[in-house]
Structure 1
Amino acid sequence: MESTIAMAELAELIAAINADADDARWNFVSDLDRASYREFAMHCLHHSLQFWLEADPLRPRWNRWFMPNKKLLGDNPDTVYYGTVIDPTKSYRIRGNIENACYTSFTVEIGTAGGAMSQKLGHTLNDREFEVDAAGNYELLASPTGSGPNWLRLDPEAGSITTRHYFEWQRCAALDPSLHIPLTIEPLEDPGPPPVPDDTAVAANIRRAITFLRSVTVDWGHTPMPPGAIPWVSAEPNVFTNPADHDGNLGIGYAATDNIYRSARWKLAPDEALEIRGRWPRCTFANIVLFNNHMQTPSYDRRLVSLNRVQTEVEDDGSWRMILAHSDPGLPNWLDTRELEHGTMFW
């Protein structure tokens, strides 16, 4: 049976991921590094099965990208993300409510059909661009052709849509189990009920999950980007770059065209701390997030591994000082590394 073969392929991939933890390209130096990679891979498997196993572009449904127990590709404690597969030749009606988010957006992902990673960004709409009524409700048309502020254009190579919902609360929004963001998507032409999956369909479903899981694990990192390839990514640990221009992030999958990013690695000995000084810009949303080697936030339940503007203590002149440290320095605005000597700071 074809599904038997597909299941065996999944088992082979998991074995390959286990061995991949020892690959030199990761530069792992400890058993903790290797164990962390295996845990990350299980988060990716979780997402692969949840998002891709029963993905049906004729009958799309929203799946939550990140949760406190599912992290990959850069999660954020102050945000909620959803995603769904689509057929770029079809038309869909999206209905939702802002639900007091300070920012809401929809991004079309290019090249994601069949479980592949996003190659670049397609059309993007945020809640400053599309019409929202006084109660926070909105309705969008996602289709290959259309017009008006509430039209989300589906590019011919599009395979999925990603949503972003940002909150600046004292407690991280991703930890709130009662937070519900009303959001639906339905095709304009009813495809009818889905057929009962046969052996061929089940095999195809499993292989979509395999494709995504492979892309974020054993296929990842074989061609590292040269320093400076992304201007806002610093090549020097503990130092940020601040390029004047913003290119819209169009060539970066799973990004957002209207988000301005900054990123740098931290590298701290057990007895060291890093002081970061600055001022919040005038913007819709801002925060700093810490990632481990796999773009996952360390556990943020009862510890702050991110700071937004509401959480940050600010001086009278509008400036602030953050302390990145392995243990509580007894000062405001502590960013807890969770004892990781190296990782990524992401704005």
Structure 2
Amino acid sequence: MTQLSDAAWDALLAMFSDLADVVRADARDDRERLEGYRVLARVMALCSELSLDVDPEVPRFFPMTTPMRQVAGPNPDGEYDLCALTPGRSYRVTGSRESVTYLGFQVMAGVGLTPRRQAGYVSDSDLVLDADGRFTFVLAPRDPGTGEHCVPIPDDASAIVVRQYLVDRATERVATYDIEQLEPAGPVAELTDAALADQLGAFMWTAFKLMTLHRTVLPELMTETNRLVTAEAAALGSENTTPDNLYMLGMFDLASGEALVVDLEPPDTRYWSITLENVWHECLDPLRTVSSGTNAGFVRRADGTVRVVIAAEDPGVPNWLDTGGRGRGFIVLRWLDTPAPPRVQLTVTPLPEVTA
């Protein structure tokens, strides 16, 4: 008799083969192909944690990114944690705000192969802090009547994602937090055929989504290069972003000896950043190269404007972002607190002219 888990496992293996075909079809050169396979393997590792390394009775936060795993277009100047939720349950989140520039809690809903959606959001401006900077709030389908700050969530709530943005890691303290289930934890449950099939289905949905972002999120950027598209969070998919961010996205496509010069007038906001990614939306070697920067690190000109140079070679000027020798990749500008879109101009320039 065929079990649900048998079918789910076979479908998972077939999907990995399909995603390898995506890598081979969309890679423009050997470097992109090799990085594509590596990203696929890293996505598999991430999805294993997200979908399988969970106990529905004992919720816990764990990091979605690591120093080496920067997939799915994260902000390398940030921290991302996720906790799986059991649909229909209630939870209490407690923590300390500390001095990090930005902190946001995003509740996701949807299970199995159902597309995820944002079902709740708590920004740092929504938190009620005590004299020591600590906070508490409850996530529940129905208010438990405890008198605490309660955030309503739907019966199919399945995860909470926490984002923190740091302007300067050397001086800021990241927030700390924990989560507990309000209902008493049950005994350790035996793994069932249906439960594993559901977990493998969630594994499939997440892996496919993360490996095809370049095809599904503003796919026109792959051909309309060296320009930026302005998009509020909702336009990029509420499950991918938070509502208090304004984004500009584009793809650099440079020949040898060329640079992409970015001239901008930064808005008056507490946080903004520019990040380079490869074609698979993976951050570019953040431990070894300067491929991202924040408003605290970029040097401004006398009139307050900023010029950033994207190039494979050091032009010897301030604000160089290193492509690591890649011919193309994504550019992501994040502006916190949804300011009006600032003026940003991109110009492809011969590298000697930039240096001069």
1:193 aligned onto 2:208: no
Closer, same or farther: CA 283–191 of 1 in aligned 2, 3 Å: same
Work out the CA distance in 2 between the residues paired with 1:166 and 1:336.
Answer: 21
Letter in 2 for 1:15: S
SS in 1 for 2:191: coil
Closer, same or farther: CA 80–21 of 1 in aligned 2, 3 Å: same
Per-residue CA deviations over 1:71-119 (Å, capped at 9, x if unaligned) read: 22211111001112223422100011223211111112232x236553x
Closer, same or farther: CA 241–33 of 1 in aligned 2, 3 Å: closer
1:184 aligned onto 2:182: no
Conservation of the 8 A alpha-carbon contact between 1:142 and 1:153 = yes
Letter in 2 for 1:191: A
Match of 2:227 in 1: 239
SS in 2 for 1:208: helix
Conservation of the 8 A alpha-carbon contact between 1:162 and 1:254 = no
Name structure 2 gaps, 5 residues minimum: 334-356
Write out aligned runs for 1:1-347 (5 A).
2=3, 7=9, 9-23=11-25, 26=26, 28-111=27-110, 113-114=111-112, 117-118=115-116, 120-146=117-143, 150-169=149-168, 181-197=175-191, 201-202=195-196, 204-217=198-211, 236-242=224-230, 246=232, 248-249=234-235, 251-347=237-333
Work out the CA distance in 2 between the residues paired with 1:224 and 1:165.
Answer: 22
User: How much does 1:9 deviate?
Assistant: 4.7
Conservation of the 8 A alpha-carbon contact between 1:273 and 1:325 = yes
SS in 2 for 1:262: strand
Work out the CA distance in 2 between the residues paired with 1:223 and 1:291.
Answer: 16
Work out the CA distance in 2 between the residues paired with 1:32 and 1:300.
Answer: 18
Work out the CA distance in 1 between the residues paired with 2:285 and 2:130.
Answer: 37
User: How much does 1:198 deviate?
Assistant: 5.2
Letter in 1 for 2:112: G
Per-residue CA deviations over 1:174-219 (Å, capped at 9, x if unaligned) read: xxxxx764221111111233224356645554443234223434x7
Give TM-score scaled by structure 2 length: 0.81
Closer, same or farther: CA 211–169 of 1 in aligned 2, 3 Å: same
Work out the CA distance in 2 between the residues paired with 1:122 and 1:140.
Answer: 16
Work out the CA distance in 1 between the residues paired with 2:263 and 2:141.
Answer: 46
Work out the CA distance in 2 between the residues paired with 1:122 and 1:157.
Answer: 9
SS in 1 for 2:67: coil
Closer, same or farther: CA 150–295 of 1 in aligned 2, 3 Å: farther
Work out the CA distance in 1 between the residues paired with 2:196 and 2:217.
Answer: 35
Conservation of the 8 A alpha-carbon contact between 1:52 and 1:205 = yes
User: How much does 1:345 deviate?
Assistant: 0.8
Match of 2:337 in 1: none
Work out the CA distance in 2 between the residues paired with 1:247 and 1:13.
Answer: 28
Identity %: 24
Work out the CA distance in 2 between the residues paired with 1:88 and 1:205.
Answer: 13
- Would you say how many aligned residue pairs link Structure 1 and Structure 2? 329
Per-residue CA deviations over 1:14-61 (Å, capped at 9, x if unaligned) read: 3343334333xx2x2222222221111111101111111133444322
Letter in 1 for 2:298: T
SS in 2 for 1:301: coil
Pairwise CA RMSD: 3.1
Closer, same or farther: CA 224–215 of 1 in aligned 2, 3 Å: closer
Work out the CA distance in 2 between the residues paired with 1:20 and 1:65.
Answer: 23
Letter in 2 for 1:114: G
Letter in 2 for 1:17: L
SS in 2 for 1:339: coil
SS in 2 for 1:330: coil
User: How much does 1:346 deviate?
Assistant: 0.6
Work out the CA distance in 2 between the residues paired with 1:338 and 1:306.
Answer: 12
Give TM-score scaled by structure 1 length: 0.83
Per-residue CA deviations over 1:225-251 (Å, capped at 9, x if unaligned) read: 575xxxxx79842223457xx575584
Larger deviation, residues 56-65 vs 120-129 = 56-65
Conservation of the 8 A alpha-carbon contact between 1:286 and 1:308 = yes
